[in-house]
Amino acid sequence: MRRIIIELPKYNWTVRYYQNSAPSDYAEIYDALKQIGCTGKALDDAKRHLVSNKKNKGLTYSNIKDGQSVVAVSESTSDEEFVNTMSHEVHHVVSHICEKYGLDMFSEEMSYLTGYLCGKCYAG
């Protein structure tokens, strides 16, 4: 599993990104989710998601108040499926940043942020 931390100082935001996660990696991601404040049903749902053996899936949880996200992308069956899942999860992070700051999701700034995050998450 690949792990990176992406800092977004302009938005006072941190993304913990996990790529090619497998069920055996669930504890590390589960702990990261708890560290940023994920609890209750959201945490239970995340655990079920993380321990399933399905490919081409992802999850994102953000603590919008504290500006922190955890993103996990499972193993993929193809490069196309990886890009699809990764960009889907990046979209959630960008929408959470927009929510926190009241930013226009359709702006050029958010398009550039999406591209920046996808570039950081991509490991071709």
Decide if 68 contacts 62 (C-beta within 8 A): yes
Domain that holds residue 103: 2-121
Please tell me the predicted confidence (pLDDT) of residue 9.
98
Q: Flag whether pLDDT at 46 surpasses 90.
A: yes
Q: How many CA atoms lie within 13 A of 74 on its CB side?
A: 19
pTM reported for the whole predicted model? 0.95
Whole-angstrom distance, CA of residue 33 vs CA of residue 82: 22
pLDDT, mean of residues 44-71: 96
Q: What are the tens digits of pLDDT across the range 65-114?
A: 999 999 999 999 999 999 999 999 999 999 999 999 999 999 999 999 99
Q: How many domains does the chain have?
A: 1
Token pair, residue 70, equals 């955890």
Q: For the segment 8-40, what is each residue's pLDDT rounded down to a tens digit?
A: 999 999 999 999 999 999 999 999 999 999 999
